[in-house]
């Protein structure tokens, strides 16, 4: 299954939050699924870690997940923004959620997130627990 991992999946692990264990388990099963991260999530994680002066954590994140081929990064382009705006209006999504929604739709990925805002969309979302069974 092709999975788009939302920003919060990574932040749960990095910030050692409530659902970190589930998120870690999902990443540990990367051999069973094709994992993807949006460029928006990638840059958001970098922004958060730089603000916290955790440059080394960001470098390790890149090394562990992207450089080692555990996951691939995908993007939207300017020509996709009209659809992104439409999704934001239709489902009452913030920009970041509309962006993730459109990436999942464009590439036909299952969206993996702890964010319940996606539940109101026609594509929905799955939690790591849903994927792991």
Ranges of each domain in the chain: 2-132
Kindly state the average pLDDT of the residues 94-103.
98
The helix (H) or strand (E) run that includes residue 111 is strand 110-112
Res. 11: pLDDT tops 90: yes
**HEC profile of 75-90:** CCCHHHHHHHHHHHHH
CATH of domain 2-132: 3.40.50.1010
Do 128 and 29 touch, CB atoms closer than 8 A? Answer: no
Three-class SS state of 37:
strand
Please tell me the distance from the alpha carbon of residue 36 to that of residue 18, in angstroms, as a whole number.
22
113 dihedral zone (left: phi>0; alpha: psi -120 to 50; beta): beta
pLDDT for 86 equals: 98
Between these two residues, 96 and 29, which has the higher pLDDT value?
Answer: 96
Q: What pLDDT band is residue 119 in, cutting at 50, 70 and 90?
A: very high
CA dist., res. 102 & res. 56, Å (int): 31
pLDDT at 114 over 90: yes
User: What's the pTM?
Assistant: 0.94
Residue 65 makes CB contacts below 8 A (sequence gap 6+) with 27, 35, 37, 71
- What per-residue confidence (pLDDT) applies to 31? 84
């Amino acid at each position: 299954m092709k999975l788009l991992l939302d920003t919060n999946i990574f932040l749960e692990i990095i910030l050692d939050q409530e659902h970190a264990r589930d998120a870690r388990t999902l990443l540990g099963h990367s051999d069973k699924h094709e994992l993807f991260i949006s460029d928006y999530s990638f840059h958001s994680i970098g922004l958060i870690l730089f603000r916290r002066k955790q440059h080394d954590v960001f470098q390790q994140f890149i090394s562990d997940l992207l450089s080692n081929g555990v996951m691939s990064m995908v993007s939207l382009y300017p020509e996709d923004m009209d659809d992104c705006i439409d999704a934001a209006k239709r489902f009452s999504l913030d920009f970041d959620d509309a962006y993730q929604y459109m990436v999942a739709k464009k590439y036909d990925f299952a969206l993996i997130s702890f964010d319940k805002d996606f539940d109101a969309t026609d594509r929905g979302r799955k939690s790591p627990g849903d994927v792991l069974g």
